[in-house]
């Protein structure tokens, strides 16, 4: 197994510890992470060549030291790590959003240095979207963990070809939809770098062409799979509820989110994090 280390200067606020804590509590993906302090370790599927990779990320001030190990394209693997941890985003303007919006300022104080992270790739986000359709998140997380255990690769999500050929016994059309996700991944439709390079609305529309992926799922794939930093989710009921809670009944997300540019996704994630914190503390 080859090893590669690169260093990246992270521009703007960043705390790997805060981000790791947020990620470990990201129930939809039940992401396997490990780490203490300013270190994070995880296993993932590289969407450039579908090889398995391991990574260790260490924070030293504004410097991210990314080490990847695997048998595939390690340059692509390191770039994917930076993408799913949002380390490749220039966030020097993120504090300005808090100065324009006191609600977001409160969230920034509550979660100092949080950089939204979610899924290792758009491919895994799309598979999750299928598994969680009309199903409790806890049950979907069990199904995902079982798929990794049976068809995966020592902790990494199954490759598209394994997912397509697996004899999945799932209700409804879930197995069919997962095969469509696998086909789209192999065709390059779910390439993380390519989706990030597109305007988010264009990327969402492209993902919606996958059988079984509706509007909510397509937003999840682009905003939490490709980790696009600047888009306002239009199909998330919990976020709509948070807008009403913090900005008043009748407030429109599109209007509120104008003050969040160019970090609308980040602000949306921070609002949901406030909601989760409120529910935890009662």
pLDDT at 35: 54
pLDDT of 33 > 60? The answer is no
Q: What does the chain come to in residues? A: 282
pLDDT of 143 > 70? The answer is yes
Of the two residues 137 and 84, the one the predictor is more confident about is: 84
State how far the Cα of 140 lies from the Cα of 162, in Å rounded to an integer. 19
Burial call 182-197: b when 16+ CB within 10 Å, e when fewer: bbbbbeebbbbeebbe
State how far the Cα of 268 lies from the Cα of 230, in Å rounded to an integer. 10
For residue 127 the two structure tokens come to 């598979």
Beginning with the edge strand found earlier in the chain, give each strand of the sheet holding 52-60 in spatial order.
Answer: 2-9, 63-70, 52-60, 39-45, 33-34
**Residue 145: phi, psi to the nearest 5?**
-60, -40
How far from 243 is each of 42, 169, 279, CA to CA, in Å?
33, 39, 16
- Kindly report, residue by residue over 4-22, the tens digit of the pLDDT: 999 999 999 999 999 888 8
All domains of the chain in start order, with CATH? 2-93 (3.30.310)
- Kindly report, residue by residue over 230-279, the tens digit of the pLDDT: 998 988 888 888 899 999 998 999 999 999 999 999 999 999 888 777 66
State how far the Cα of 94 lies from the Cα of 169, in Å rounded to an integer. 45
pLDDT of 37 > 80? The answer is no
Q: Rounded to two decimals, what is the model's pTM?
A: 0.94
Residues 6+ apart with CB under 8 A from 138: 27
**Residue 65: phi, psi to the nearest 5?**
-105, 110
pLDDT of 74 > 90? The answer is yes
pLDDT of 135 > 60? The answer is yes
For residue 75 the two structure tokens come to 């340059």
- Kindly report, residue by residue over 112-134, the tens digit of the pLDDT: 999 998 899 999 999 999 999 88
pLDDT of 157 > 80? The answer is yes
Share of the chain above pLDDT 70, in %: 94
For all residues of the chain together, what is the average pLDDT?
Answer: 92
């Amino acid at each position: 197994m080859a090893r590669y280390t690169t260093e990246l200067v992270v521009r703007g606020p960043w705390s790997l510890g805060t981000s790791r804590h947020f990620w470990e509590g990201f129930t939809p993906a039940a992401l396997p992470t490990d780490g203490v302090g300013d270190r994070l370790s995880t296993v993932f599927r590289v969407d450039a060549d579908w090889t398995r990779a391991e990574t260790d990320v260490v924070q030293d001030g504004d410097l991210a030291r990314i080490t990847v190990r695997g048998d595939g394209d390690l340059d692509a693997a390191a770039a994917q790590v930076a993408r799913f941890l949002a380390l490749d985003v220039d966030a020097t303007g993120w504090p300005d959003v808090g100065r324009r919006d006191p609600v977001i300022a409160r969230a920034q104080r509550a979660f100092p240095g949080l950089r939204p992270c979610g899924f290792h790739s758009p491919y895994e986000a799309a598979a999750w979207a299928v598994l969680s359709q009309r199903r409790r998140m806890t049950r979907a997380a069990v199904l995902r963990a079982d798929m990794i255990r049976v068809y995966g690769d020592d902790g990494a999500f199954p490759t598209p070809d394994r997912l397509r050929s697996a004899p999945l016994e799932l209700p409804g059309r879930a197995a069919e939809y997962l095969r469509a996700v696998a086909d789209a991944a192999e065709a390059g439709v779910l390439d993380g770098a390519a989706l990030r390079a597109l305007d988010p609305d264009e990327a969402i529309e492209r993902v919606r062409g996958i059988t079984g992926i509706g509007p909510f799922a397509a937003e999840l794939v682009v905003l939490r799979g490709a980790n696009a930093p600047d888009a306002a989710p239009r199909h998330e009921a919990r976020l709509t509820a948070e807008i009403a809670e913090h900005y008043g009944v009748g407030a429109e997300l599109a209007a509120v989110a104008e003050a969040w540019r160019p970090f609308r996704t980040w602000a949306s994630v921070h609002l949901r994090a406030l909601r989760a914190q409120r529910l935890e503390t009662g």
